[in-house]
Every structure is written in C-alpha cells, then in structure tokens.
Amino acid sequence: MNQGILRNYADLFVQSGGNVQKGQVVVINADLEAAEFARLVQESAYDAGASDVAILWRDAASTRVRYLRAVDEVFDDFPDWMVDRFKYFDDKGAVYLHIISDDPDLLNGVDTDRLRRFNKISREKTKEHQALTMSNKLRWTICAVPSPAWAKKVFPDLPEEEAVKSLWELFIKASRADGENPVEDWKIHRASFVAHVDYLNKQQFDKLRFKNSLGTDLTLGMPKNHIWKGGGSVDKDGIAFHPNIPTEEIYSAPDRARAEGRVVASMPLSYQGSLIDGIDLTFKNGEVVEFKASSNQAVLANIIEMDEGSRRLGEVALVPISSPINKMKTLFFNTLYDENASCHLALGKGYPNSIVGGADLSADELIERGVNHSLLHVDFMFGTEDMSIVGIYEDGREVVIFENGEYVTNY
C-alpha cells in the first residue's frame, strides 16, 4: 500500500478516531501482523502532541497455541498485573487505539468451553475499564489492517499478495481514507448523520417494529428519554471522537425487557475466531427464549449463556442499504465492517449514553431505566434490502422509518 495513503489512514485514526490531545497518554493495542502500521500510528500520535505512546502487542498464533495446549485451569484466571495495567493507563486518562488484523478462523477447533470461561473471567476482572470506555468517559477507537489469513478468507481465489492488496483497497475506501484530506472528509461525514439523529431523538418512539422476508418480525420497546447517536461520540470533557473507523450506523439502546418476536441474521457472525451462521433468535419479554444456528451453535450458546444480561439486547443500529460498505457486496468476516453494511442488534451490555444522564448511573440504575447490563456486547447483522422499520408512538400511531432497506426521507 502506498505510504502516503497509509500515513493519511494513520492520521485519520489518531486525529478523527481517537482525537488525541496535546499532552495525552496514548495506548495502542495492535496485532503483530499490523506492526508497520502501528508504528505509523505511534508517530502520528506523537505528532498530534501525545506525551507518551505505549504499544501493547498481541500475537494471534501464540494465542491459539495457548488455547490448545495450556493446562485447563489457566482459563479460569486473569492476572492481576493485567488489571493493574488497565488501571494505570485509565488513571492517566489515556486514549485507546485498537488496531485489529484478524484471522477469522484463528480459533477453529479450540474448546469452546475454554473460550467461554476465559472470556467471562477477563471481562469480570476488567469491568471497571470497560465501564469507562462504554460510557465514553475515556476515548477509544478501532481500525483494521489486513492480515494474509484475513485477506485469503475474504478473497480465497486470489494469490495471497493480491488478496492483501485488494482487502487494503476496500479498507481504505470504506474508511473514507482515500481522499486528499481524510480528516476533513470525516467532518463532512459526521455532519451527514445529523438529520436522521435529530429526527429520531425528537420522536421518542415507544416501539420499533422490524420486518423482512428472511423471517424477522421483531418489536423492540424503547426506554423513555432514549438517545440516538451516529457519526461519532463525545467524551466527558466534550471532545468529539469516532469509536469505529469506519462507521455508517445510527444506534441506541432498546428497552431490555421489551423485545418480542423473531429475528433472523442476514450475515454470518465472526466471533473470537469462529464463524456463526444462520443465527435465529426468538424473544419474549426481552429475553432470548429460543435460539439456533446452522453452524457453531455451541459458540452462539456461549454468548447467550454468558450471564443473565447476554440473553437480552443492548443495542439497535440502523444502517441503510445505500451504505458504501453494503455496496461493496463483500463479507468481511469481521463485525467492524459487516455491521456497517447492515442494520444490526447487539446481545449484552447497552451503552449508558443511550439514555439522558446514563453516563452517571450505576448498572442497577441503568437496568431500572431499561438499559441492559452484561459482561458482553456482541453485534450481529439482520438488515436486508426489503427491511421495513415502523416507529410506534405511545398512543399507537405509526410512522414508517425504513422502507426497502432505506430511510424514508420525508418521514
């Protein structure tokens, strides 16, 4: 990939994604596959005025070896020194920049019980850190770099080098990093969400009803004083940032106790190295009461059975089929991209900022207000070209929001 484009991508990630401020500590979490780009991000962060930049490396291959060969009891432990490391950086008000470079098949064949147990203990031990980021008290952002394994998964018929190049091109285009000034382009992109966000927030619908030909017929209650967001977030100090590079969604939190009906996923879900296909969920009183998948149902069960909150919904997101990522007609095998091609839902924890004053509420207070709490937050896609969405007011009046997968612009 052209070095000038990569530097623009790094600058976009630092300036628009994390919006690094002068004197701020920056933490980069990066796969070894993304080492070259991570160093560009480090340079960009210092250029933006960072006081210090720490890179915490991940190695996918050694992670797989550990899951396959370590003694069983290690998957019930998460070391205190890793918790202390989070607290050290959190106390400094760090901004977290996550660079992923996945192998979608990394954990195929790994004992799903080991995955479930370590996922649970790690989230339990880091829940204070997760609360800071999910409430946007600390800024954070995610972007992606192709790995050869990921590129070959997306483009199995291409030689490896050509596959990597092709995936890079899609990442750069999807992230709107292919212009002369991506940072300025993202300011325009952010503004494009305003009309839909303002409309939805003014309506304060009591319910939303989703239907399509796949079999989805789902009604979601919405909490009182819920907030729709899109195009980015704002931290506790009023500093704007973009948690996801790219982003095309407008999202909020549904009422955790008022999901009724059936939802059928429109795309596979790549979760911790396993691909779950054919997800089909039935909800009653907000809770999953039946579930199935055509592949990796045991992994889906691990998600749903993680805790009480993982059986309920924490997010609903609207993405029109005119999304640039949808138009690529490519399955990326990664939620960062696939969720921006389709309307989606998330099992698990809701974002506190999805209701008025939510960032200052405890988990129990959020639950009382209808916002779900869980150790997990797992997105899956259910939008289609024939998706209809109807907003329902408390008095029963209805208005069409989506028709044939697109916003109804005159509402």
The pLDDT of residue 273: 75
**207-266: pLDDT as tens digits:** 999 999 999 999 999 999 999 999 899 999 999 999 999 999 999 999 999 999 999 999
Q: How far apart are CA 118 and CA 124, in angstroms?
A: 10
pLDDT of 184 above 90: yes
Query: Using an 8 Å Cβ cutoff, are 16 and 186 in contact?
Result: yes
CATH of domain 3-185: 3.40.1830.10
* Domain spans in the chain, listed from the N-terminal domain onward: 3-185, 195-227+249-407
Q: How far apart are CA 252 and CA 256, in angstroms?
A: 12
**121-143: pLDDT as tens digits:** 999 999 999 999 999 999 999 99
Tell me the sheet residues that pair with 388: 211
Residue 371 confidence class, pLDDT cut points 50, 70, 90:
very high
pLDDT of 167 above 80: yes
The pLDDT of residue 274: 83
Q: What does the chain come to in residues?
A: 411
Of 304 and 105, the one with more pLDDT:
304
The pLDDT of residue 358: 94
Q: Phi/psi at 205 (nearest 5 deg)?
A: -60, 145
Both tokens assigned to 121: 């203990």
All residues at 6 or more sequence positions from 96 whose CB lies less than 8 Å from its CB, including other chains: 18, 27, 29, 89, 133, 138, 139, 140, 141
Q: How far apart are CA 3 and CA 383, in angstroms?
A: 36
Both tokens assigned to 169: 């091109």
Burial 37-76 (b: 16+ CB within 10 A, else e): bbebbbebbeebebeebebeebebeebbeebeeeeeeebe
pLDDT of 179 above 80: yes
Q: How far apart are CA 334 and CA 268, in angstroms?
A: 9
Q: How far apart are CA 155 and CA 159, in angstroms?
A: 9
The pLDDT of residue 102: 85
Predicted TM-score (pTM) above 0.85: yes
Q: What percent of the chain clears pLDDT 90, i.e. is strictly above it?
A: 94
The pLDDT of residue 211: 98
